[in-house]
């Protein structure tokens, strides 16, 4: 069941206070409309009733999808030990548990896990695509504005790299990614009960550690 609470919030534009409905949890199976709002990010969009300015407010949210068997916890802070009582029963039921620190990560993670794709494979594909983009002199690292998961069809993953004035798509066979992950399974291992962050910072840290860099 989805739950929300009312919060008194001060508009950052006009300074006046108003009440917002902040969702603490969303069950995508029971509330498909809320699922759509989470996927678009609009569940965090609010409008000041005084100055009528729209803005985003990110707050902690637990997103559960029983059909696809995953839970995403949107929170900038790490999970404490008190989360284990919540996470362990879900892990035993075969759920994938993830924490996302940003709204962008959150919306992308929903799509990845709904597609039934390993987000470890996605982050590896994004990293490899970025390196290939730079090595082939398609652009400089500072030119890249985003590296995004697009979709996976017929065993091929599509990754988009965007700059201010252009974009490039990379098509990567899932079999190749899965083979690399199996060969280095100790490096790519994640522990769901800890609600791990599996994102660009995570994949970069793995390659830095494996190359002996601090």
Cα end-to-end span (Å), the chain: 44
Domain co-membership, 127 together with 156: yes
Q: Which tokens belong to 188?
A: 């790519």
Domain co-membership, 103 together with 14: yes
Q: Which tokens belong to 148?
A: 């995004």
Domain co-membership, 90 together with 171: no
Domain co-membership, 74 together with 124: no
| pLDDT tier at 79, thresholds 50, 70, 90 | low
Report the chain's mean pLDDT, rounded to a whole number: 93
Domain co-membership, 13 together with 99: yes
Residue 16 has pLDDT above 90, yes or no: yes
Domain co-membership, 202 together with 133: yes
Last residue of a domain, one of 79, 114, 149: 114
Mean per-residue pLDDT, 83-108:
94
How many folded domains does the chain comprise?
2
Domain co-membership, 53 together with 125: no
Which pTM was predicted? Answer: 0.91
Closest CA to 35 of 24, 43, 46: 43
Domain co-membership, 93 together with 195: no
Provide the domain limits for residue 35.
3-114
Mean per-residue pLDDT, 85-107:
95
H-assigned helices in 12-118? 32-40, 84-92, 103-114
Last residue of a domain, one of 114, 134, 155: 114
Domain co-membership, 103 together with 124: no
The rounded distance, in Å, linking the Cα atoms of 91 and 81 is: 15
Using a pLDDT cut of 70, give the percent of the chain over it: 95
pLDDT of res. 81: 64
Residue 186 has pLDDT above 50, yes or no: yes
Domain co-membership, 128 together with 202: yes
pLDDT of res. 99: 96
Domain co-membership, 97 together with 125: no
Instruction: Let me know if 70 is exposed, middle or buried by CB neighbors in 10 A (0-12, 13-18, 19+).
Output: buried
Domain co-membership, 82 together with 170: no
The rounded distance, in Å, linking the Cα atoms of 67 and 24 is: 20
The rounded distance, in Å, linking the Cα atoms of 127 and 139 is: 15
Last residue of a domain, one of 71, 92, 114: 114
């Amino acid at each position: 069941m989805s739950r929300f609470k009312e919060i008194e919030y001060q508009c950052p534009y006009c300074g006046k206070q108003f009440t917002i409905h902040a969702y603490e949890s969303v069950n995508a199976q029971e509330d498909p409309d809320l699922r759509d709002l989470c996927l678009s990010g609009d569940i965090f969009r609010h409008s000041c009733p005084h100055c009528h300015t729209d803005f985003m407010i990110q707050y902690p949210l637990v997103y559960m999808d029983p059909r696809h068997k995953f839970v995403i916890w949107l929170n900038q802070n790490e999970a404490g030990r008190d989360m284990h009582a919540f996470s362990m029963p879900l892990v035993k039921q075969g759920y994938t548990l993830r924490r996302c620190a940003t709204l962008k990560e959150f919306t992308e993670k929903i799509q990845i896990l709904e597609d039934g794709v390993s987000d470890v494979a996605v982050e590896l594909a994004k990293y490899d695509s970025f390196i290939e983009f730079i090595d082939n002199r398609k652009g400089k690292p500072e030119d890249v504005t985003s590296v995004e998961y697009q979709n996976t069809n017929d065993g091929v993953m599509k990754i988009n790299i965007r700059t201010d004035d252009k974009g490039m798509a990379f098509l990567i066979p899932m079999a190749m990614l899965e083979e690399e992950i199996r060969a280095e399974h100790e490096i790519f291992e994640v522990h769901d009960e800890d609600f791990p962050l599996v994102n660009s910072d995570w994949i970069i840290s793995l390659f830095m550690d494996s190359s002996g860099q601090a």
